[in-house]
Amino acid sequence: MSKTYFTTDHEWVAVEGDIGTVGITNYAQHALGDIVFVELPDLGKSVAKGKEIAVVESVKAASDVYSPVTGEVVAINEAVVEQPGMVNEAPEDNAWFVKIRLSNASELDGLMDHEAYSAFVNGLE
């Protein structure tokens, strides 16, 4: 069973074992509007917590997506590259961006759980 964590930059990571599946939250996709382009990193790329791992462009703006964890990209979701609108339809489900093999699981301690993230988002409105 996976456990999902959230960042203040509106990324989520669902962790199962040493693999974290990363995407953007529903709040983020709603703020961006209609997403028209997604750029993902190459397989095997080393990523660092807090550093850019992807770019999403909408009809409103372009936005960087930051890695919530440090590790190696072990899978990318080509479907969101081919159909960027998926991110608007299922941002916290099928429209994940990358899977990362975590190199330091203790980094998860600084992230929010679903309840804390919901409270954080409610504070923004």
- The fraction of the chain above a pLDDT of 90, given in percent, is 94
Question: pLDDT digits over 49-95, tens only?
Answer: 999 999 999 998 899 999 999 999 999 999 999 999 999 999 999 99
71-76, strands of its sheet edge to edge: 3-6, 11-16, 19-24, 98-102, 71-76, 46-47
Inter-CA distances, 88 with 27, 28, 58, 68, 74, Å: 10, 9, 10, 20, 24
Question: Domains, the chain, ranges and CATH?
Answer: 3-104 (2.40.50.100)
Confidence of residue 1 (pLDDT cuts 50, 70, 90): low
pTM, whole model, 2 decimals?
Answer: 0.94
